[in-house]
Amino acid sequence: MTKIAIIGAGPCGLSMLRAFEQAEKKGEKIPEVVCFEKQADWGGLWNYSWRTGSDQYGDPVPNSMYRYLWSNGPKECLEFADYSFDEHFRKPIPSFPPRAVLYDYILGRVSKGNIKNKIKFNTKVTSTIYKNDKFEISYLDKTNDTTSKDNFDYVVVASGHFSVPFIPEYEGMSSFPGRILHSHDFRDAEEFRGKNVIVLGSSYSAEDIALQCHKYGANSITIGYRHNPMGFKWPKGMKEVHYLDRLDGKKAIFKDGTEQDADAIILCTGYLHHFPFIDESLRLKTRNRLYPPKLYKGVVWQDNHKLIYLGMQDQFHTFNMFDCQAWYARDVMMGKIKLPSDDEINNDINKWVAMEEKLENPDQMIDFQTEYTKELHEMSDYPKIDFELIRKHFKEWEHHKVEDILTYRNKSFSSPVTGSVGPIHHTPWSEAMDDSLKTFLNK
Ligand SMILES: Cc1cc2nc3c(=O)[nH]c(=O)nc-3n(C[C@H](O)[C@H](O)[C@H](O)COP(=O)(O)OP(=O)(O)OC[C@H]3O[C@@H](n4cnc5c(N)ncnc54)[C@H](O)[C@@H]3O)c2cc1C
Ligand SMILES: NC(=O)c1ccc[n+]([C@@H]2O[C@H](COP(=O)([O-])OP(=O)(O)OC[C@H]3O[C@@H](n4cnc5c(N)ncnc54)[C@H](OP(=O)(O)O)[C@@H]3O)[C@@H](O)[C@H]2O)c1
């Protein structure tokens, strides 16, 4: 029997498990599937942990999410086609839920069947090599500190790429008297109440962590961008300046001449695609981009079609794109989709990479990833979902952010699965301090 290993039980790994479950429900004979998850529970980044650094076994903590994190895009854009929000919550809910609510939704889809039994928890894949037409996987049972090996016909890498921080160094850091941390280790904005905070970066983490610090009472927030400013209309107490030049004692000196006394520096400088557990010849090497090269249809490793990577793209689309990838990958692994010749594969990858390199603005990037997802969607039996509506929602959301970065999360969108419209939340985001599921759902 064909044997498949899935590395990681975050949203991507769970999409893969769900795809096989759905095929089985239709009466198809599915391969043997084993999922390795190095944490004690499933959900990936959505499985919040207070820990930073390493866990009780000495293993680096993969979690990068923090308290009071709310969805930064409309939930309707990530909705599962086969499990709507209405089905899970039994009523329409607002469009920008906090982390605990999305976690509940992700797990709701996979909790009922037999999926959890296929996951080996507290089990870390330490090596993946290809020999004699099989993948040999070594894995560590963290609880018992024992290593084992097993052979598989296919490997699905679903280990995420927002867990290993990229940490640059600036002059003066070693003598800075305050705290320096990466967004990976940021857990609670309360820590920065009354402080002068420097945030470096100009992407989603910089935007959201700066806003969190503002919301929870930081005295001032100075954001240092490197290439392009985010350019939002920042509220009083926040400003965006050009690139940190150096630190001099507690003073941060920026390239545009701005000087700011600082108590803390938060590096929102992104993450590394880091796969030390995969043999170098099989290892994806890329920066965070919309179309990493060497992946056919964004998932099949060009040099060995039995190796699949899920969710390795920079992401506008998330959960339903992961599903489209997983459903497609399942059909490749089950022999229902035949891959074209090496030349065609190469041309297809080059076509997408070349298109990606010409993108100039968020609207074009949204179009690009929507086209990619739609193409995949058409290649499997993943249920009907309105990607044109999702495209429209993403563009509207971008414009809401430009209008007012403090209020975009108060807006409402319609479902691409059921058509129902999310009600306006009972409390505007900037005043909603309690992010529990109970309060959000008004239970
Ligand atoms: C701070 C932050 C906020 C975000 N907010 C949103 C949001 O609001 N909306 C949204 O749609 N997306 C958001 N994202 C994007 C996020 O990438 C996806 O939502 C999603 O979590 C990606 O799923 P994944 O399965 O690819 O990776 P992950 O969620 O990272 O899961 C990977 C899993 O693999 C496991 N693993 C890793 N290595 C090994 C190994 N060697 N052996 C065994 N197991 C391993 C990890 O323990 C983890 O459980 C956010 C990301 C970050 C960093
Ligand atoms: N739900 C939420 O609210 C929420 C919150 C946070 C994050 N997220 C998610 O988390 C994921 C990761 O986002 P991210 O912002 O951490 O990573 P990212 O999107 O990859 O952005 C990395 C940022 O780091 C900057 N950078 C890199 N090196 C730098 C240096 N040496 N000095 C200064 N800046 C540097 C980059 O700037 P350049 O452009 O100049 O290269 C870029 O702005 C995304 O999917 C996002 O949606 C969601």
Q: How far is the CA of 185 from the centre of ligand 2 (A)?
A: 14
pLDDT in tens, 336-348: 999 999 999 999 9
State in Å: Cα 15 to ligand 1 middle: 12
Gap from CA of 80 to ligand 1 centroid (Å): 16
- Atom number of ligand 1 nearest to Cα 205: 1
SS3 439: helix
**Which of 37, 78, 110, 159 has most ligand 1 atoms within 8 Å of CB, for mutation?**
159
- Atom number in ligand 1 closest to CA 124: 42
Nearest Cα residue to atom 35 of ligand 1: 8
Q: Which ligand is nearest to the CA of 62?
A: 1
- Residue 16: Cβ within 10 Å count: 29
Measure the CA–CA gap between 81 and 102, rounded to whole angstroms.
Answer: 15
Question: What is the 270 CA–ligand 2 centroid distance (Å)?
Answer: 4
Q: What residues does ligand 2 touch, defined as CB less than 6 Å away?
A: 69, 71-72, 162, 168, 183, 200-206, 208, 226-227, 268-270, 288, 315
User: For a pocket test of ligand 1, which of 38, 45, 163 has the largest count of ligand atoms closer than 8 A to its C-beta?
Assistant: 45
Q: Which of 204, 215, 314, 319 to mutate to test the pocket of ligand 2 (most atoms within 8 A of CB)?
A: 204
* Distance from the alpha carbon of residue 318 to the mean position of ligand 1, in angstroms: 10
Q: How far is the CA of 286 from the centre of ligand 1 (A)?
A: 17
Q: What is the pLDDT of residue 384?
A: 97
Which residues partner with 123 through β-bridges? 141
Closest listed residue to residue 307, CA positions, set 339, 336, 269:
339
What pTM does this model have?
A: 0.98
Sheet holding 251-254, edge to edge: 244-248, 251-254, 259-261
pLDDT tens, per residue, the chain with 443 residues: 999 999 999 999 999 999 999 999 999 999 999 999 999 999 999 999 999 999 999 999 999 999 999 999 999 999 999 999 999 999 999 999 999 999 999 999 999 889 999 999 999 999 999 999 999 999 999 999 999 999 999 999 999 999 999 999 999 999 999 999 999 999 999 999 999 999 999 999 999 999 999 999 999 999 999 999 999 999 999 999 999 999 999 999 999 999 999 999 999 999 999 999 999 999 999 999 999 999 999 999 999 999 999 999 999 999 999 999 999 999 999 999 999 999 999 999 999 999 999 999 999 999 999 999 999 999 999 999 999 999 999 999 999 999 999 999 999 999 999 999 999 999 999 999 999 999 999 86
Query: To test ligand 2's pocket by mutation, which of 70, 199, 269, 321 has the most ligand atoms within 8 angstroms of CB?
Result: 269
Quote the distance between the C-alpha of residue 190 and its chain's center. 24
Cα–Cα distance, 346 to 294 (Å, whole number): 8
pLDDT at residue number 442:
85
Query: 69 has which bridge partners?
Result: none
**Residue (of 158, 126, 157) closest to 142 by Cα position:** 126
Q: Whose CA is nearest to atom 11 of ligand 1?
A: 318
Is the separation of the CB atoms in 157 and 13 below 8 Å? no
Kindly give the distance from the C-alpha atom of residue 46 to the centroid of ligand 1, in angstroms, as a whole number.
7
- Residue 421 CA, ligand 1 centroid: distance in Å: 28
What distance in angstroms lies between residue 437's CA and the mean position of ligand 1's atoms? 20
